[in-house]
Amino acid sequence: MKKIIMAIALVALLASPVMALDWDFYGSARVQTSYHTWDSKDATDNVFSDAAADWQTQTGNNGPNFANDDDDKGLFWDALGTSRVGARVKGDPVQGRFEFNNGVGTRLLWGQWKINSGLRLRVGRDWRPLNYFYSGQQVNDAGMAGPEGAGGVISHRDDQLKLIIGEGQNLHIALVEPQLNADTGAADVDYYLPIIEANYHFAADAFFFDVGGAFASYDMEGDGTTNSPDDKVNAWIVTAGGGFNFGPAYIKANVGYGVNVNDIGMVTNRANDRNTAKADGDGDWDDNDTLLLLGVIGMRFTDQLAIEGGVGYENNSDDDGRAQGNKDDETYAFYAHLNYTAAPGVSIIPEIGYIDLVDNEFGTEEGDSMYFSVKWQIDF
């Protein structure tokens, strides 16, 4: 129904003599063919186990199944959700963009008003300011991104009001829909402020850097028990990153540190339960601290051939766990791929990757996963 409404609106806009705009339509078809192995190490609190049902729902393929064994393996063969069609609509002072993806829905739908040369207002669904797409990693393994989801600074797309400041459009400040992801139990959550998120980006010929942050606050009205207390939950993150070009070679890296980062919508490896505040049964809400690290190195040999590799690291710990002497919960992820441009708009990308969940906070080994993949992509 949404797509029908959008199509009707699009026809109406095209037919309107008022909208003297430049329309640029585009699309990208993407298929992933890969082979995955998962080893849960018989850990009950395990991202691979938690993601099994999501894998089937999101991809229509059989994901890891640990019902009868501690490990599993399987073939992934499907059109990716990142396949898309869309259009860029350019005008002055108004412009916009919309984009739909494969089987999921609206990726982007925003309009922008150029107030003056140094100030723009963007309204709608768009990438949030804290999206450092430094990694070109291709595979999303068992519901988890690889290094990007285990160390990258990614806050994804959301409905927002965004100010873009500067003639070079360097500073982005957004007010984003609140999205507390903690298990609130019997508590009622009151939202008084949107998520406030900002990033400053500077680029020169041979280098670039980013610095940013986000903040949100939620009031928890519990039922008066220690498992559902009244409290205020704050969530925040500070981030930085950058890169250098050395002729055809490049390096990129980012760092992020925050508290309850999934309660401001950050995409992380342990978003299922580790990056949110939680009631500890002691009459308050425990905070969760997260450290994100990502490094990428690559080189382009010709217009047709390039290589890239990366490593990601994520560390999580909570107040209650530290008080009890528990370990930090860590994740490592690695990948390497070859990017071959067979023709203009045609990419074939073989990739190998590995994700290690190491031990949980109690010292229990959590498992690992490896994949061998080829991504097939045609842009038009």
**What pLDDT is attached to residue 42?**
52
Q: Which of these ranges, 61-70, 166-175, 196-205, 356-365, has the smallest mean pLDDT?
A: 61-70
| Cα Rg of the chain (Å, integer) | 22
**pLDDT recorded at residue 160:** 97
Global confidence as pTM: 0.85
Q: What are the Cα distances from residue 142, in Å, to 33, 149, 250, 267, 375?
A: 14, 12, 29, 14, 16
Does pLDDT of 234 surpass 50?
Answer: yes
| Residue 9, C-beta contacts closer than 8 angstroms, at least 6 positions apart | none
pLDDT tens track for 181-211 = 776 665 678 888 999 999 999 999 999 999 9
> Which residue's entry shows tokens 């059109």?
79
The reported pLDDT for the residue numbered 2 is 53
Average pLDDT, the chain: 81
Kindly state the percentage of the chain with pLDDT values over 90: 49
Q: Residues 86-96: pLDDT tens digits? A: 999 999 999 99
Average pLDDT rounded to a whole number, residues 8-34: 73
**27-68: per-residue pLDDT in tens?**
999 998 988 887 766 555 555 544 444 444 334 444 555 444
* Structure tokens that stand for 358 in this block: 């190491």
Nearest by Cα to 369 from 140, 68, 148: 140
Give CA–CA dist 117/12, Å, rounded: 30
Cα gap 364→344, rounded to integer Å: 49
Domains and CATH numbers, the chain: 21-379 (2.40.160.10)
Side chain identity at residue 244, one-letter code: F
CA atoms within 13 A on the CB side of 221: 4
Please report the pLDDT score of residue 58 as a whole number: 38
Each residue's pLDDT tens digit, 293-318: 999 999 999 999 999 999 999 888 87
Q: pLDDT digits over 113-123, tens only?
A: 999 999 999 99
**Res 141 pLDDT > 60:** no
Q: What is the pLDDT of residue 208?
A: 97
User: For residues 210 and 244, what is the distance between their CA atoms, to the nearest angstrom?
Assistant: 12
Span 268-281, pLDDT tens digits = 765 445 677 777 66
CA distance 226 to 143: 33
Q: Are 76 and 61 in contact (CB under 8 A)?
A: yes
